[in-house]
Structure 1
Amino acid sequence: MPIACACGELGTMGTAGRLLVATPPMNDPNFERAVVLMLTHDETGAFGLVLTRPTELDALDDEGTLSDWIAATSSPSVLFEGGPVQRDSVIGLARLPDDDERSWATQVGASGVFSVDLNTDSTNAADCSNLRLFVGYSGWGPAQLDGEIAGEHWFVLDAAPHDAFDAEPHTLWRRVLERSPEHRDWVQRFPDDPGAN
């Protein structure tokens, strides 16, 4: 499986380093109740990773070039589906101290979360206090995401440092909305179990 890197210059538009939270009902099953951490957003398009889609693939089963990175993954130690684009690639996010420069990691916003270059020396994994690996990513063409936000398909909310490594990703959508006073009512209107409504 090829290794992708979201390292380099991050975009300067409004969503980079922030969360996109899907507004219900989302007609695209790839993004139903999704929380997407945006890595870039500029005039050429946007790129992010879905934080709420753990796969059934146990990350610890891989013994190839990613084995040291995989051994450092946060619970649950599975690969996450980052989105519907390039599902044959792997992208890493890590929590690192932001006190020194690393050529193998690029900070995502101001949250202490970094996109890591998995093609570098895997002993760098030891520096990560949290690590998550994503298969594929979410991508938008020029102005496409801006149109979706204007069409109210997404809320744009601030990311907390722990969001990218949450131990209970299936409930992250609800909890992110609950911490935003102006969006809490969405949780009551669209409960996790619609039969409980």
Structure 2
Amino acid sequence: MTEVSSLTGRLLVATPALSDPNFDRAVVLLLDHDEEGSLGVILNRPTPVGVGDILEHWAGLAGEPGVVFQGGPVSLDSALGVAVVPGEAHEAGERGARPGPGLRGEDTSDDGPLGWRRVHGAIGLVDLEAPPELLATVLGSLRIFAGYAGWGPGQLEDELVEGAWYVVESEPGDVSSPDPRHLWRAVLRRQRNELAMVATYPDDPSLN
């Protein structure tokens, strides 16, 4: 099998051609990507449900808006915490840390503060079973996601070939965007190529 080049930590930005309503104008942060498949969370699907309604002890650390986000169509009854720890990106570079959230069982216990596992740079996964006090002094931002987006082996690669997604670099601020509903346009607009023009694509092309 051909080795898959990992896109862990990158963003998948839905192209206007993507017709699946689950991913219409979605911005997906990839938490894991290898030959076994891919897993990510949609960063721009806030729900009306407050974090305090389902995870009261984490509500005080959740960034604005303090609501649960729909991370994707898979396992909507499960919760994932994604958080930025300022300063960790530089330290990861110094140590040459392997990118990846430990979702497939890697031992990353010594990589970053207790209760947090690095995904990419300063972005990592939070152990929501741990006491929030462990991370209260180091977290820069926290987002809680219900469900996730998942792809089987080779499935995401097929969608990329079909032109369903743009792949771009993530920034720590994407996780904690205070205006998540406009994240699709904001991510495209910052690209230094023709993708910046896609940000002007109308919501309804028939009106163009």
TM-score (normalizing by structure 1):
0.85
- The answer on 1:191 being equivalent to 2:202 is yes
Number of the residue aligned with 1:137:
148
Q: AA paired with 2:39?
A: F
Matches within 5 A, 1:10-159: 13-62=5-54, 66-97=55-86, 98=88, 99=91, 101-110=112-121, 112-126=122-136, 127-159=138-170
Q: 1:124 to 1:103 in 2, by over 3 A?
A: closer
- Aligned partner letter, 1:86: S
Q: Equivalent residue of 1:25, what SS?
A: coil
The whole-number CA distance in structure 1 between the counterparts of 2:5 and 2:82 is: 20
Quick one: which amino acid aligns to residue 43 of structure 2? L
Alignment: residue pair count: 181
- Aligned equivalents of 1:128 and 1:96: distance in 2? 5
**Quick one: distance in 1 between partners of 2:205 and 2:182?**
14
Structure 1: which 5+ runs fail to align?
Answer: 1-11
Q: What residue is the counterpart of 2:104 in the other structure?
A: none
2:44/2:183 contact within 8 Å kept: yes
Query: Bigger shift: 126-135 or 75-84?
Result: 126-135
> RMSD across aligned C-alpha pairs, in angstroms?
1.8
SS in 1 for 2:22: coil
CA distance in 2, matches of 1:51, 1:38: 10
Runs (5+) with no aligned partner, structure 2: 92-110
